[in-house]
Structure 1
Amino acid sequence: MKIDRSKGFFNATKQSDKKAKMDIFGEIVDDQISNSQTSAISFRDALNSFGDVEEIEINLNSPGGSVFSGIAIANQISSHSARVTVNISGVAASIASVIAISADHVKMAKNSMMMIHEVWSPFVGSHNEMRKFADDLEKINETVFNSYLQKNPKIEHALLKDMMAKETWLSSDEALELGLVDEVTHANKASAKISKEMEAQFKNMPELNNDVVETPKETEEVTVDDVMAILKAIQSDVKEIKENTKTKEEKEEKSDETKTQEVPVNSFARLFNLSREDDK
């Protein structure tokens, strides 16, 4: 049996009439091409498939991606009638951090990280187009800024703007202190993973041990001959155990017969046997 490694990135499962669970492990995109990506459309379809559940749990490990798709996902989470809990299990960077904080309750593993920064995008055009594009970026950046304030209105505005401008990576304790998460949970064993393309977009990314990632070990294919060989080996072992048990029982029976025929050796028994001989 071979492991299908194409699955396990974006999953949506309705566990009961009241609870559903989702995994977002990968980049946030406008148009989903592979299972390693999440789009606002795939997220919407997943929510619709849940129906009227009361609780949704989302496991998040994402380097971010499309701002508009991320904002759309965040708005879907915040406006949903169910109580939504997000578990940051590896990294919630860029727009993925906005998705995380849109939940009713945000949990962050002790060894996970969150990154906040200003919105950026590659652009090619004339000087007039570039000026307009810069103005648009500022407006989009204000939207992201307000998302963090919505999670914790008490954050000092100047501090938050400075942290976003510097691309700040936050530990779980720092994110908790900043009021962007509600709870710090136990550490995960698996390492965070960010693609080389996404890594190139960040300026101050800390060492995430990117070369070491725990993945399921691929098992060898099991054939019919393999199964038959195992069954024959088991059959042989069972036969041997039965024969040994039978031999042991026969020995015990012979031993009991011998003991029965022997004359008792204690004095009372000897006296009793002598009396019986005299009667004869």
Structure 2
Amino acid sequence: MLILNNTNAQPPTFFLTGIPGLSTAQVWISIPFCLLYVVALSGNSMILFVVLREQSLHEPMYYFLSMLSATDLSLSLCTLSTTLGVFWFEAREINLNGCIAQMFFLHGFTFTESGVLLAMAFDRFVAICDPLRYTTILTNARIAQIGVGMLIRNVAVMLLVVLFVKKLSFCGSTVLSHSYCYHVDLIQLSCTDNRINNILGLFAVFITTGFDCPCILLSYILIIRSVLSIASSEEQQKAFNTCISHISAVAIFYIPFISLSLVRRYGHSAPAFVHTIMANVFLLIPPVLNPIIYSVKNKQIRKVVIKVLNKKKLQI
């Protein structure tokens, strides 16, 4: 059996997969995928534009929102070329280095989104539980430190994962299960011992989303306790309303993430196309819905977006 070692031989070529069993309908299925990508790219670009342009939005909450939009935008761009390439042009080939690069950014931005949601939970916690110190706690310098800290954490974790993937050798099948490179999918094709890679993958999830999710939950327990201590029901409702957008963003990120993990672990009897569609939906749902949620639920964002759109109409 031919063994392709990444250090001593030419890097192997992998083959991406569209939707198993639905190859004849892939062109039609690609249309809604394409529309979702357009919505994700345009929506997050709009949020970034209005936050950077509008002086009134230069506040901690909107800085974190711009981080979320930048992450969603990057996450969409990570898979755009390979997914639409497979669906439209049957461009299935990708070399090992390209696959590892996509995997690095794909998982890195996924972990970054989790970190940004935690930062936004901290923002809501300070705003509701300690409003008098909000501006002194969440200074521009501290927001920058939070952003850099998340970046360092995710890059360090993913560099370690990539380092051990580079040590693997591949033989036999090089057909991946998705239209993009996913860590678990890639290491399963290895013909050498990949136990360390599995442990590192679990460690990466544990130290990122596995840490962030309980912290977000804890922050909302403290927020709820603080809000319930407020005497006025009107003020309670107002406080909870400031959290709705963030709670929605957390739900549309973690529910598909957990569902996909459960399907991968326990849904072996499910058709292959179910796994593929869920994997693509997980990557597209947050970037598509986050700008819509914040544009609808946040009055300031909505006003600025409407103002920008009206100016563009007048120019036309």
Same fold (TM over 0.5): no
Structure scoring higher RCO (CA < 8 A, sep ≥ 6) equals: 2
Tell me which structure has the larger Cα radius of gyration. 1
TM-score, normalised with respect to structure 2: 0.24
TM-score, normalised with respect to structure 1: 0.26
Structure showing the higher strand proportion among its residues: 1
